Each structure stands twice: as C-alpha cells, then as structure tokens.
Copies of this chain bind each other. A is one copy, B any other.
Amino acid sequence: MLTIGSLGKKTGTKVQTIRYYEQIGLMPEPGRTEGGQRRYGDAEVDRLSFIRHSRQLGFPLEAIRELLDLSDNPDRSCHEADSIARRQLKQVELRMDRLKALRTELKRMIHECSGGNTADCKVLEVLRDHSECLTDHDEIGA
C-alpha cells in the first residue's frame, strides 16, 4: 500500500495533482487509513501512469477520460481510441507548423538586430510593423 507521496514519486506526479485528478473523477477515491490518509494499490499506479503518459503526449484530460473509458471496456471497438489518437496527431502537426513560422520570423528579427539603442531596434520595429508578417493565424500562443 502506497501513500499519496510515494505514488507521486513513482509516477512523476505532484501530490496536489493526484488529488486534483481524484476531484475531477479521473482517479477513483482510494481507500483510507484510520486516520484518513489515502492509500493506493497497483491498479492506481497503472491508471495514473496511463494518465501521465497520455498527458505527456498532449492529450487533454477529456480525451484521457474517454481513453480510460475505452480501456475499461475491452470489447468495444479500437476505432474510437484510434480516432482520438489521430485527432491528437493532427493537433500536434498543426502546432508544429505554426511554431515553424514563428521561429522563422523570430530568427529574422533577431538576426537583423545590430545593437545600439531602441530607437532603431529591429526587434521592436518588426513587432511594430505587421505588414511583413508571415503569420496571420487567428489562434495564438502556440
């Protein structure tokens, strides 16, 4: 039986995060000691690892909820899990494209900066002038 702290260490998860997952129903309510402390078994280690790994792959918690659901019902079609993963791949590729464009523009603007004072700073100039900009995405924040 693991304490919440050792579960956290085993899975690379902060204690607060585990409690948060419990609160939103991603993790089950675990057993407690007499004194009221949480105690976990192997099933919880597995489940939390699954969640963390999925998070590292960028899946949003709602997608993970679905995936866990699928995982709990071994007779359902694999199709759904596959399509969730494909959706996620698309997101990742979209973000990569956007980041590529950003990198290009950032590099250009840094490259052209030659020091001096801000009056003729290329960085600021580029930011001021939107016209040469390659990126006209509506979405923001990579």
Q: Residues of B contacting A57 with CB < 8 Å?
A: 102, 105-106, 127, 135
Q: Residues of B contacting A89 with CB < 8 Å?
A: 103, 106-107, 110
Question: What 0/1 readout, one digit per residue, does chain A (74-103) give for beta carbons within 8 Å of chain B?
Answer: 111111111011101100110110011011
Q: Check if A127 sits within 8 Å of B53, measured CB to CB.
A: yes
Closest residue to A106 on the B side, CB-wise?
B89
Contact segment of A25-33, A36-44, A118-126: A118-126
Does A5 sit at the interface, judged by CB under 8 A? no
- Copies of this chain held together in the complex: 2
Interface SS of A by simple majority: helix
Q: Check if B123 sits within 8 Å of A81, measured CB to CB.
A: yes
Q: Residues of B contacting A105 with CB < 8 Å?
A: 57
A interface residue numbers (CB < 8 A to B):
12, 46, 49-50, 52-58, 67, 70-71, 73-82, 84-86, 88-89, 92-93, 95-96, 99-100, 102-103, 105-107, 109-110, 113, 115-121, 123-124, 127-128, 130, 133, 135, 137-138, 140-142
